[in-house]
Amino acid sequence: MICVSISDVSYKLAAEYARKYPFVEFRMETLPISAEEAATLFSIANKSIATCRPLPGQEERRKLLLKTGLKHGADFVDIEVDSEDKMPTEMRESLRKSGAKLIISYHNFKETPEGSMLREIYEKASEHDADIVKIACAVHTHEDNLRLLSLCVRYPSLLVIGMGPNGRLTRLLGPFLGSPFTFACPDEQPAVAPGQLPYSRMKQLQTQIQDIFHGEV
Place 211 in a pLDDT band, splitting at 50, 70 and 90: confident
For residue 149, give the 3-state DSSP assignment.
Answer: helix
- Domain ranges in the chain are 2-213
**CATH superfamily of this structure's domain 2-213:** Aldolase class I (3.20.20.70)
Predicted confidence (pLDDT) at residue 176 exceeds the cutoff of 80: yes
Q: What is the distance of C-alpha 24 from the center of its chain?
A: 9
CA gap 78, 52 in Å, rounded: 8
With a pLDDT cut of 70, the percent of the chain lying above it is 94
What Å distances lie between residue 22 and 1, 18, 62, 137, 167, CA to CA?
A: 9, 8, 25, 26, 24
Q: So what's the pLDDT on residue 33? A: 96
- Is residue 4 exposed (0-12), middle (13-18) or buried (19+ Cβ within 10 Å)? buried
CB 181 within 8 A of CB 156: no
Q: Which of 67, 71, 72, 134 is catalytic?
A: 134
Active-site residue, 107 included: yes
Residues 46-86 have pLDDT tens digits of 999 999 998 888 888 998 999 999 999 999 999 988 765 55
| Whole-prediction pTM | 0.91
CA gap 26, 5 in Å, rounded: 6
Place 107 in a pLDDT band, splitting at 50, 70 and 90: very high
What Å distances lie between residue 54 and 57, 79, 125, 199, 201, CA to CA?
A: 9, 10, 18, 26, 30
What Å distances lie between residue 98 and 50, 63, 85, 102, 216, CA to CA?
A: 12, 15, 20, 11, 42
Contacts of 37 (CB under 8 A, 6+ apart): 11
CB 171 within 8 A of CB 150: no
For residue 159, give the 3-state DSSP assignment.
Answer: strand
Residues 135-144 have pLDDT tens digits of 999 999 999 9
Average pLDDT, integer, range 91-119: 89
Q: Which of 47, 63, 101, 107 is catalytic?
A: 107
Q: So what's the pLDDT on residue 189? A: 87
* Average pLDDT taken over every residue of the chain: 90
Predicted confidence (pLDDT) at residue 204 exceeds the cutoff of 90: yes
CA gap 100, 11 in Å, rounded: 23
Judged by average pLDDT, the poorest of 38-42, 84-88, 120-124, 149-153 is 84-88
What DSSP element (H or E) covers 65? helix 59-71
CB 199 within 8 A of CB 4: yes
